[in-house]
Amino acid sequence: MTDTSSTACDPCLPADGDMVIHFAHPAYRLAECFARRNTAISHFQTENRAATLDRLGEGQVLVLSGLWSNEMLDAAPNLRYIQVCAAGYDQFDRDALRAKGIRLANGSGVNRNAVSDHAMAMILALTRQIHTGRDRQRERIWRPMISDIARREEELEGKRILIYGLGAIGSRLALLARAFGMQVIGIKRNLADHDGSVLDLRPPADFLATLAEVDILVLTCPLTPQTENLVDAAALACMKPTAYLINVARGRCVDEAALIEALKSGAIAGAGIDTFVEEPLGADSPLWGLENALITPHSAGETRRYEENVIDILLTNLRCLQQGDEGLINRIV
């Protein structure tokens, strides 16, 4: 839940010529993309935890996601603002940040198109059996036509999809699903705050009762105490044996042991999973060997535009902080 509390303060950041931004990410080329914006702001990038720790004291602004650990606060005396270059922010100690007067905003919305596209791709792959076709391709096996109707590919039109979480990603996915002729049900905590992307809107309390109605469940929600292990053994038992689970939210929204058992037993038809409790997914995980599991390496949000989308939010928020404005985009603290 976004913290909308505010404390009066002078401008949190200096002028461009006196500001230093520390980008920290092992893969995203944030500093390179930022340089093309031709600002007067000094900046640099580190690509691993050790280098990040070594240079934490140099910047007032830190842009990162997975390289963060809360003990870094003690090594960053000049830090005034953290821009998370992803949607998830559960790794940050918000109370500690407040105590030090450090602002925090996440990257919610930067991967709106990417993640909703990815979720739709997983739905299509599973229902059209594209993932098993790829497996057979490696083996040079031409699968014959399937006489068993229950084992054939499916059409999406008329299928019922439940989207849990109607933020930017879930709302766009709803529009994509509707374009395929699907019947879309959405679950949202605040029913009054809705953009109309779904016609059938329900509260979280209706989650288990709704599962028996749907053919596809997609998680696009943040990780909160209420959504941790949201899909557990009880939820999976409520789903149809022909239903699919798609998780492009956070790994801990799903009880992985319960999911593995449901996939092995045929309690559900399959799952498309982009996020996991432990990442990278361990080589000994049974998920690797399950034909009805489609796995991607937490890549749903990655596109060629990702860095630019992050920097758009970053620059807007820097100007707000320079002016003493508390109206940050995606403010958390």
Q: Is 178 exposed, middle or buried (0-12, 13-18, 19+ CB in 10 A)?
A: middle
Q: Which sequence positions are flagged as catalytic?
A: 250, 279, 298
CA 94 to centroid of chain Cα atoms? 19
Distance CA 314, CA 191 (A): 30
User: Which of 260, 269, 316 minimizes the C-alpha distance to 289?
Assistant: 260
Q: Which DSSP helix (H) or strand (E) runs through 97?
A: helix 94-99
CB proximity list for 46: less than 8 A, separation 6 or greater: 22, 23, 24, 52, 54, 55, 67
Name the phi and psi angles at 289, rounded to 5: -95, 5
Query: DSSP class of residue 215?
Result: S
Residue 306 · residue 119 · CB < 8 Å: no
* Token pair recorded at residue 259: 């999911």
Residue 18 · residue 60 · CB < 8 Å: no
